[in-house]
Structure 1
Amino acid sequence: MPTERTEHVCGRVGADLTDRVLDALAALWESGPPVPAEDREPFALAVSEIAANIVEHASAREPVHVSLTLTMTETMLEAVFTDTADPALIDLSSIQMPDWHAESGRGLALALATLDELVHETHEGNTWRLRRVVRGVV
């Protein structure tokens, strides 16, 4: 049975969210089962891009709160963000990498390219589910 390790981040959405997420990822890598860098790094990129999008685009009448659960086993990496922002109207099937000279708009495209699964659901906020199957061998 795979060893499972989790880390959590909760609180108000603010400029420090991405740093808190990266700290939680570092704690996960340090204390969890061994997962090769070739899987950790693309997953961390996708997770940080979603966190950055939440910081940049999440809006609501009240302060926005977010919770993140990171889960790691020898065979799978998963992140689930839940926020209290207004539902984001996004069609993930239409996301494409912007032209090379674009100054923004790469976050979701990078996440889609590095993950096996990216799901966005709206119900009293937003839920983002990110999953990457571990391919490498330690």
Structure 2
Amino acid sequence: MATEPTIRLEGVADDALVDRVHDALDELLRRVPDVGDEDAMLFRLAVSEVATNVAEHALAREPVHVTVELEADADALSAVFTDTAEPALIDLGSVSMPGSDAESGRGLAIALATLDELVHETERGNVWRLRRLRRD
């Protein structure tokens, strides 16, 4: 019986969650061994950047709860982050890579450059939808 190529995590937005997301990505890519190296590397980079941003910007009086769903199918690698933080007011259309002397601000620009789709929704908290089409 084939293992389902979907992994779901839940927890508080903190550094430990970022580590769990990295571990879950490793597990997902073990379950779907035919993902090409470039697709795996670039998807991992984008997911890591978004996970780190969610953890770093989870500024609230109460802990921010996050659900992460990672999925791989024949066509794409996908991730969905859903959190309970205040909606982030971000215009993805205006995101660009900062100058070489900047110490931060590259995360979303890197994610946009490595993904085929990055969507941010703010109806209740934040929902980040990441998708990279498989090329290999």
2:43–2:77 CA contact under 8 A, matched in 1: yes
1:58-73 equivalent positions in 2, closer than 5 A: 58-73=58-73
How far did residue 71 of structure 1 move?
0.5
1:82–1:128 CA contact under 8 A, matched in 2: yes
| Cα distance in 2 between the residues matched to 1:4 and 1:16 | 25
1:119–1:129 CA contact under 8 A, matched in 2: yes
Deviations 1:90-132 (A, max 9, x none): 0000000000111110000000000000000002200000000
- Aligned partner of 1:133: which letter? L
2:5–2:72 CA contact under 8 A, matched in 1: yes
| Cα distance in 1 between the residues matched to 2:63 and 2:19 | 19
Q: Which residue of 2 aligns with 1:132?
A: 132
DSSP-derived class of the 1:47 partner: helix
| Cα distance in 2 between the residues matched to 1:74 and 1:34 | 9
Say whether residues 1:32 and 2:29 are aligned partners: no
| Cα distance in 2 between the residues matched to 1:39 and 1:89 | 29
- Aligned partner of 2:63: which letter? P
1:34–1:74 CA contact under 8 A, matched in 2: no
Q: Percent identity of the aligned residues?
A: 60
1:4–1:72 CA contact under 8 A, matched in 2: no
1:50–1:111 CA contact under 8 A, matched in 2: yes
| Cα distance in 2 between the residues matched to 1:44 and 1:15 | 16
How far did residue 29 of structure 1 move?
0.6
TM-score (norm 1): 0.93
Aligned residues: 134
| Cα distance in 2 between the residues matched to 1:33 and 1:8 | 19
Unpaired segments ≥5 residues, structure 1: none
RMSD across aligned positions (CA) = 1.3
- Aligned partner of 2:82: which letter? T
DSSP-derived class of the 1:10 partner: strand
DSSP-derived class of the 1:101 partner: coil
